[in-house]
Amino acid sequence: MTVIAVIDYDMGNLHSACKGLEKAGATPKITSSPLEIAQADGVVLPGVGSFDPAMQHLKERDLIEPITQAVKSGKPFLGICLGLQILFEASEEGKEEGLGIIKGKVRRFQSEANLTIPHMGWNTLDFTQNNHSLWKNLPLSPYVYFVHSYYVTPSDSRVISGQVTHGSQTVTAAIAKDNLMAVQFHPEKSSHHGLQILTNFVELVCT
């Protein structure tokens, strides 16, 4: 039985992420227990909401060290939406320090004529790491579902594994570095392409 810890820090709809993982063949376990996170075969860090409350909740639940150790352990780790952003050092959305696992900052979309903020709805995902296992069995430029006003800017562009264009701005939509993967979009809301991504993640956990 493949157990994936879905970290509960009061920032998002955990159940939709769990349903997607179940469909992909995993046994998700919603938890804020450091021991259960350490014992899990893989970890998912979801998130919906704002940067500062997310970091405050992680501190209140003593989850910063368990998350950092989970990434260092080498087990597959997937961040989703806000769970991507808080991996970075800081955000223009707030004043709290991020986890700093990935160097770089979270920035707000720049206003331009006819640009809707937040970026919400279906858009194409363009791969920059075409051979990454997370993208296995996906077509080029699959449609996935986004809801965000902020995007990540890694200091090292080599960690960028996917991009999205909104208006005239092309920004990071996914990162991957060793066992750490994270996406700005919601795979659990992205129909069969999202399910394929979650299935690919579960396969990584099982190998």
Task: Determine which helix (DSSP H) or strand (DSSP E) holds 71, and give its type and residue range.
Answer: helix 64-73
pLDDT, residue 2, reads 84
pLDDT-derived band of residue 87, with 50, 70 and 90 as boundaries?
very high
Residue 53's Cβ-side half-sphere holds a number of Cα atoms within 13 Å equal to 9
Contact yes or no for 142/163 (Cβ under 8 A): no
Task: Determine which helix (DSSP H) or strand (DSSP E) holds 66, and give its type and residue range.
Answer: helix 64-73
Residue 47's closest CA among 77, 18, 22, 10? 10
Handedness of CA 58, 59, 60, 66 (dihedral sign): positive
pLDDT, residue 188, reads 94
Q: How far apart (Å, rounded) are the C-alpha atoms in residues 76 and 207? A: 10
Residue 74 is encoded by which pair of tokens?
């080498």
pLDDT > 70 fraction of the chain, expressed in percent and rounded: 100
pLDDT > 90 fraction of the chain, expressed in percent and rounded: 90
List, by residue number, the catalytic residues: 81, 186, 188
Q: Is it the case that residue 185 has pLDDT exceeding 80?
A: yes
Please report where in the chains the tokens 């066992």 appear, as a residue: 179
Q: How far apart (Å, rounded) are the C-alpha atoms in residues 52 and 132? A: 31
Region 192-202 average pLDDT = 97
**Class of domain 3-206 as given by CATH:** alpha beta
pLDDT, residue 193, reads 97
Tens digits of residue pLDDT in 90-110: 999 999 999 999 999 999 999
pLDDT, residue 137, reads 97
Residue 28's closest CA among 82, 101, 65, 78? 78
Contact yes or no for 4/41 (Cβ under 8 A): yes
Tens digits of residue pLDDT in 142-169: 999 999 999 999 999 999 999 999 999 9
Mean pLDDT of the chain: 96
Question: Could you tell me the strand order of the sheet in which 180-183 lies?
Answer: 27-31, 3-7, 42-45, 77-80, 180-183, 169-177, 160-166, 126-127
pLDDT-derived band of residue 118, with 50, 70 and 90 as boundaries?
very high
